[in-house]
Structure 1
Amino acid sequence: MSDIPDHDQLPLPLDHLAERGPRDAPALVLKDRTLSHADLAQRVALLAGWLGAQLDKGDRVASWAAKGELTCMLPLAAARAGMVHVPINPLLKRAQVAHILGDSGARLLIGTKARLGTLEASDSPPGCAILDEDGAWSAAEQTSHALPASAHDPEQLAAILYTSGSTGKPKGVMLSHANMWLGAVSVAHYLGLADDDVTLAVLPLSFDYGQSQLLSTWYAGGCAVPLDYLFPRDVPKACARHAITTLAAVPPLWVQLIEAEWPEDAVTSLRRVTNSGGALTPEIISALRSILPETRIFPMYGLTEAFRSTYLDPALVADHPTSMGRAIPFAEILVVDQAGEICGAGQEGELVHCGPLVAQGYWQDAERTAERFRPAPAASHYGGTAVWSGDRVMRDEDGLLYFVGRRDAMIKSSGNRISPQEIESAALATGLVAEAVALGIADERLGQAIHLVVRAAEGTPDAGELLPKALARELPNFMQPHTIHWCKELPLNPNGKIDRTTLAQEIGA
């Protein structure tokens, strides 16, 4: 796509993305059939009509299923029906799902039958209906009321995406129609997507980066191919089978993909690859350039609270492999010192994201919203509310941004932002440990490996054997500790709190 035309800068209701592509061209490749853009529009209208007959406007509709027709279309169908979509990571287990359902006040949960079977009666809030995805489609196909494209206010809430915080349970980021529409516009333009592009969607659709695989592709009129891969080698095979032009991944997956075999027909079709969820190392970039010599590489940086912030022009990747690049369209990125002043070139400061991609805050959490969503710095062109990321960055003389470090204690493993406290709480809840600290340790393949430091509770001689089994039952795979350290006592700081810095030094963080 060329420069963003003026009329595209005006956000539309999110569900209008179902109406953009060439009607006879492919829009969604499912396991058993391929849907055209006309089919996409018709199925979204059908699902939206059924939802509208079941629930009220503003109600939250949650999904907990693998990639398929339902999870791909529900973001648009719920938006068209005036409801709020709450996508749940299919890797999560019942404790995390119960928290999301209760916190969001979901009125309907649609999911895979096997996943739904793991829930207990107390896991869903009062008044929340539960339906498997086959049953949902069966009911939707019997409805006689398909909803046309909506005229909703673009500032209306469209989705709540749950992301881990450095302290406490996952928090819901509130995204409007405008947030998601402009995000799709922005990505489609800076990636140069067109109506002949085919995107392989391997990332979870519960993340903004994962949803962007679909939304930006459909904005451009292209085709999406959702894939739940079992092994890394499945990805290049799918690229060859579907003549994929666009592939998004996170660093740990890229580490695995550069070790996989890439057939020639997978390489020749691939126009671009993108990365977010952690920085690409120069070694990974070098390997990708070797495997995909004609493919453009787009390193990107984002945060759920503002969708996406920066990207690095592929032409600059070779000479600036560690840079975050510059602001994406519709984003204003400032580097601010502790006094709220704009930092000069070479000066470290906090990354502050301003503009229309900024989310509406955290769902029913005014305290944490006030911490992260604050008035924009006086120098901001957009003004209004900005996201103060907590990430430390630096801008060079040429205007390129570089990541320095995180202010919080988040663990970033396999592209997932993981709350240390969530792992610690699960360990303490077993009754096997008296104290627990989760830390992220640098790891070439994972970004960070999870190390859990614990002190056994009295009278638990089998804790070493039982704790891993207990955590396996309560936490999803990506939250499982890679190493558990048993200590007789944990170091304390002068305030009497566990000294995480000392612990990290002791185990080599």
Structure 2
Amino acid sequence: MTKDLNPEPKPLDHLTLRGARDAIALTDKTGSMTHGELDAAVGAVASWLAGQGLIPGDRVASWLNKTRLACIMPLAAARAGLVHVPVNPLLKRAQVAHILADSGAKLLIAGASRLRSLEGGDVPTGCRTADEGDVALVGDAMTPSNASPDELAAILYTSGSTGRPKGVMLSHANMWLGAVSVAHYLGLAADDRTLCVLPFSFDYGQNQLLSSWYAGASVIPFDYLMPRDVMKAVGRYDVTVLAGVPPLWVQLVDFEWEDDVARQLRTLTNSGGKLPVPLVRKMRDTWPAARIHSMYGLTEAFRSTTLDPELLDAMPESIGRAIPFAETMVVAPDGSEAAPDEPGELVHAGPLVAQGYWQDPERTAIRFKPAPSFSEYGGTAVWSGDTVIRDAEGFLRFVGRDDSMIKTAGNRVSPSEIEDAAIASAMVAEAVAFGVPDERLGAAIKLVVRGSDGAQDEALKRYLKAELPNFMQPRDIVWQDELPRNPNGKLDRTAIEKEFAA
């Protein structure tokens, strides 16, 4: 836990005031925007939102590609006193409908094609829709807010091990101090240029923007079709900072990089999965001037740990130590602090801990509980369910996750969402989804179904492609007449995974 870095958290929209007014804050295919122009655009969008009949505390959802508006929305909603609900642009209408209903969104902003994809009943009563082209980025600008740091600023939806995605509530302080923390330990500077390739609906992706702007640096929002596009963008925009997940790094190191372009990159960050030692070596060879930051975290506690790049080769199995404003503890089964080299549950405390799950007190009570008695911060802590080991020097090593989440291509996927979709097809009676090791994805999805007509395999695949985003698609579907059951008559998931994992 870092104590010498302790700025007072501010309203999130004040990030627009951090950079030099005439310095570049954002560059995209249409041109550049200075920090002063960014502040004016945030004020204009906030004024537009206030003119839509919304009142402070209302939720506004955005379902957007990485447009300028997508970059501005987190700050504009905060300035207008609203709660931003970013929706992953890869999601399909069924997942979007759930998020709109669960969050109680009063407004959905999306492109025309996405709005046309919605069907009757997808947009709940009381929620209006707006085409992103109708949102004014210029005009009368609302002045910076005076929101309390504890006020709710965003709800980020993340999949749980069971059921549909749950909304994690983040305050202004959570997001502001997250930006401060990351900018500090990455050493971001005003001359940095961050290529934003990760979805802004993820805390890791959204922090690309916030930490860069806190440092007075500039961002390049970038949607790519092929990994080669990322390499070209690094050269085109003189990128110095790039955040990614293991599957992207696997693809990027396979390209022939021009030496001067490769040496532009000075900061690389990884989360969403472990970096295998052979991949680290390839990354070192590909980007010799870059510092590689291996990080660990979960949305409920933002980022948890980072490993000093200088230690990555010597400690490839470590997830590092706590980042600024985070306290990480290893708790033994009896509630005491685990001894060095003793496995225990990873527990997080401090001002980065979220406010709980939106309108879900039962699940909040399970994950958000009082901090252990030996905590320095105290208060509410996030009990991760992850088992870790801390060595004598305080470095953590990840052992395993207690839930059944599938982490594939940097995404956390709920098995039940895939299973529910398969059963909804009416082609199968029961389904079990789980992850299997995959060199490029980290984990690939295997779906085992009970159904007598394996000839419907292609029809089921087509159905799932229409209903689920690409990262939720099973790599393999196994058809069975019967599935193993436990003594209670329920599907024996452990036996099914053991039998079909190969």
TM class by shorter chain equals: over 0.9
Instruction: Say whether residues 1:501 and 2:494 are aligned partners.
Output: yes
Match of 1:65 in 2: 64
Paired residues for 1:70-469 under 5 Å: 70-137=69-136, 141=138, 144=140, 146-456=141-451, 462-469=455-462
Instruction: Say whether residues 1:43 and 2:59 are aligned partners.
Output: no
Percent identity over the alignment? 61
Partners of 2:167 and 2:211 in 1: CA distance: 22
Question: Which is further off, 329-338 or 286-295?
Answer: 286-295
Partners of 1:10 and 1:500 in 2: CA distance: 48
TM superposition shift of 1:51:
0.9
TM superposition shift of 1:462:
4.3
Contact 1:168 1:419 in 2 (8 A): yes
SS in 2 for 1:102: helix
Contact 1:232 1:260 in 2 (8 A): no
Partners of 2:193 and 2:394 in 1: CA distance: 32
Amino acid corresponding to residue 500 of structure 2 in structure 1: I
Let me know the Cα RMSD of the aligned residues.
Answer: 1.3
Instruction: Say whether residues 1:12 and 2:5 are aligned partners.
Output: no
Instruction: Say whether residues 1:492 and 2:485 are aligned partners.
Output: yes
Partners of 2:457 and 2:280 in 1: CA distance: 40
SS in 1 for 2:268: strand
Question: What are the superposed Cα offsets for residues 305-352 of structure 1, whole Å, 9 maximum, x if unpaired?
Answer: 011000000111110011100000000000011111111111111100
Contact 1:186 1:330 in 2 (8 A): yes
Aligned residues: 500
Contact 2:264 2:289 in 1 (8 A): no
Amino acid corresponding to residue 497 of structure 2 in structure 1: A
Amino acid corresponding to residue 38 of structure 2 in structure 1: L
Amino acid corresponding to residue 478 of structure 2 in structure 1: H
Partners of 1:248 and 1:15 in 2: CA distance: 23
Contact 1:217 1:224 in 2 (8 A): yes
Contact 1:236 1:263 in 2 (8 A): no
Tell me the TM-score normalized by structure 1: 0.96
Instruction: Say whether residues 1:478 and 2:475 are aligned partners.
Output: no
Contact 2:454 2:479 in 1 (8 A): no
Partners of 1:221 and 1:327 in 2: CA distance: 24
Question: What are the superposed Cα offsets for residues 434-470 of structure 1, whole Å, 9 maximum, x if unpaired?
Answer: 110001001110010000000116xx57422311111
Contact 1:237 1:266 in 2 (8 A): no
Partners of 2:451 and 2:296 in 1: CA distance: 39
Question: Runs of 4 or more off by more than 3 Å in structure 1?
Answer: 3-6
Question: What are the superposed Cα offsets for residues 478-504 of structure 1, whole Å, 9 maximum, x if unpaired?
Answer: 101110001111111233221111111
Amino acid corresponding to residue 39 of structure 1 in structure 2: E
Amino acid corresponding to residue 29 of structure 1 in structure 2: T
Contact 1:353 1:388 in 2 (8 A): yes
SS in 1 for 2:471: helix
Amino acid corresponding to residue 65 of structure 2 in structure 1: A
Amino acid corresponding to residue 278 of structure 1 in structure 2: G
Amino acid corresponding to residue 485 of structure 2 in structure 1: L
Question: What are the superposed Cα offsets for residues 349-407 of structure 1, whole Å, 9 maximum, x if unpaired?
Answer: 11001100000000000111011001100010011100000111101122110010110
Amino acid corresponding to residue 431 of structure 1 in structure 2: A
Partners of 2:254 and 2:355 in 1: CA distance: 40
5+ residue gaps, structure 1: none
Amino acid corresponding to residue 436 of structure 1 in structure 2: A
Partners of 2:234 and 2:192 in 1: CA distance: 12
Partners of 1:392 and 1:461 in 2: CA distance: 39
Amino acid corresponding to residue 193 of structure 2 in structure 1: V
Question: Which is further off, 90-99 or 111-120?
Answer: 111-120
Match of 2:22 in 1: 24
TM superposition shift of 1:102:
0.5
Partners of 1:242 and 1:26 in 2: CA distance: 12
Contact 2:263 2:288 in 1 (8 A): no
SS in 2 for 1:122: coil
5+ residue gaps, structure 2: none
Partners of 2:49 and 2:4 in 1: CA distance: 34
Amino acid corresponding to residue 251 of structure 2 in structure 1: Q
Partners of 1:337 and 1:473 in 2: CA distance: 45
Partners of 1:376 and 1:335 in 2: CA distance: 11
SS in 2 for 1:121: coil
TM superposition shift of 1:284:
1.0
Partners of 2:9 and 2:454 in 1: CA distance: 60
Tell me the TM-score normalized by structure 2: 0.98
TM superposition shift of 1:5:
6.4
Partners of 1:496 and 1:90 in 2: CA distance: 39
Question: What are the superposed Cα offsets for residues 224-261 of structure 1, whole Å, 9 maximum, x if unpaired?
Answer: 00110111111121111111111000111111111122
Partners of 1:292 and 1:209 in 2: CA distance: 22
Question: Which is further off, 274-283 or 167-176?
Answer: 274-283
TM superposition shift of 1:19:
1.1
Partners of 1:231 and 1:316 in 2: CA distance: 32
TM superposition shift of 1:4:
8.2
Partners of 1:251 and 1:110 in 2: CA distance: 31
